[in-house]
Amino acid sequence: MRSGYGSLTSTRDSWSHRPRGCSNEEVNSEQPEEQRGTPIGRRVLLGTLGLGALGVVAAPTLQRGLEAFLGSAADKDPTGLTGLLPNGGGFRYYSVTSSVPHKDAENYQGWSLTRVYVEELTQYATSGPIFRLLATLRSPEGVPCQLRATCNPGGVGHHWVKNWIIDNGPYTTTIDPETGLSRVFIPAKVTDNPALLANDPNYVAKLKASGTPQLVRAWLEGDWNVIEGAFFPEFSTARHVISPFVIPHDWTKFRSMDWGSAHPFSVGWWAVVQDDRQHDGMTLPREAIVRYREYYGMQPGKPNEGLKLPAERVAREIVSRETFSGMREKINYSVLDPAAFAVISGPSIAETMLRNGVVFRRADNSRTSRDKRMGGFDQIRGRLLGDKEGRPMIYFFETCRDLIRTLPMMQHDPNRPEDMDSDGEDHAVDDLRYACLSRPFLTRPGEYPRSKNPYLVANAFRLHELK
């Protein structure tokens, strides 16, 4: 049997009719040339590989030659028609045998572009790579340069995109006070594309069948206040955010902190409700915790970018926020990110803060529940859900804006659904986790500040000295 790519020829049927034995004529005979299969598939395969290799080798030379030709032709063109063609750098050739260029902005450093288009902006966890692409927008010929981006609500970058451009309002041009660059949000819904709906009338039905009601609402209505896949869907501004009030002196107070330098640090001050308290038309139950102050180290207007302050400076700022009329606020205990206790060379961050008047102990860094232990995220979720009567066991003063801003934006880790995606701006949520795991306690009656009024019977007879 002999076979070729073009045909398949068999001699089995004729072989059985021949006499037993063989001759030299039969052994040395070959099939006529016209019966052989033509190797078409092999030629196509080899030709494709050859063209691909040629494209990889020749593309840079072809690109440089085309750019040089367009540049010289534009100088000698009296009609100006060459100005309608993309200028030098406008043509880019990429071989299909290589991967798509990586999305890191460093790969585009030194490029000269007049247009940059970013698809699905909210899939970028931070704004840094996008902002660095602005450096590539330049034109020696004076061509107007612009960056355009499209996206949908949701995704790991939802909060920074919303804060950067969406919250400015639709069709509102915003001028950056530092750079003078302008940006504008142009909303677009599926109803703004009549051609799509005319050619695909079932498209809206497909969107409605694509996910949860929150996702459908975000995609169809462009609602940026709806977050698909939120890690803490139990959070509600109406239930958990309250107006400030004076914290009673007999409540336990403590602080929690997540350290950060290039990324923000977050410090939260908490109080434990000693007894049921009526406030804002609701009852704050006994043993609930209240976040009454926060210090968030973020660059103004740049989410997830830290202040890069040294630990000494941060400690002094913490002390200043606890000092009123020369008197330091009493803090029962404090917990800090365990990474801040690491000693590599020289004093740790925790030790540096200790030397500057801010004492911390190591926080419990458990994230998820395992080995019959309740993790930090479950602690948060349990307090958000509340007690048997449905009353939350955690509240936030409305002045704690950064935790209120970032808590509802947290997303599930795509590889570990039970964990939170740590690529987002999770610093205030981490300090919240440390607080919930710190075992907040009620103040004992004997720990109430004792009045020094000499006319009180207890003081007159020194009853406090009795054992």
- Predicted confidence (pLDDT) per residue in 264-295, tens digit: 999 999 999 999 999 999 999 999 999 999 99
- Predicted confidence (pLDDT) per residue in 298-346, tens digit: 998 788 899 999 999 999 999 999 999 999 999 999 999 999 999 988 8
- The whole-number average pLDDT for the span 102-123 is 80
Domain extents in the chain: 52-98, 105-187, 191-221, 237-447
| % of the chain surpassing 70 pLDDT | 77
Element spanning 164, H or E: helix 158-164
- Predicted confidence (pLDDT) per residue in 205-252, tens digit: 988 887 777 777 788 888 887 776 788 989 998 999 999 999 999 999
Cα 338 from Cα 362, distance rounded (Å): 5
Question: For residue 67, which amino acid is it?
Answer: E
Look at residue 267 in the predicted model and tell me its pLDDT: 98
For tokens 């009454």, what's the residue? 292
Contact by Cβ (8 Å): 394, 386: no
Domain 237-447 = CATH 3.30.420.280 = yes
Within 13 Å, how many C-alpha atoms sit on residue 451's CB side? 8
Q: Give the SS3 label for residue 267.
A: strand
Cα 204 from Cα 443, distance rounded (Å): 57
Residue-wise DSSP of 3-70 = E-SS-EE--HHHHTTSPSS--HHHHH----GGGSPP-HHHHHHHHHHHHHHHHHHHHHHHHHHHHHHH
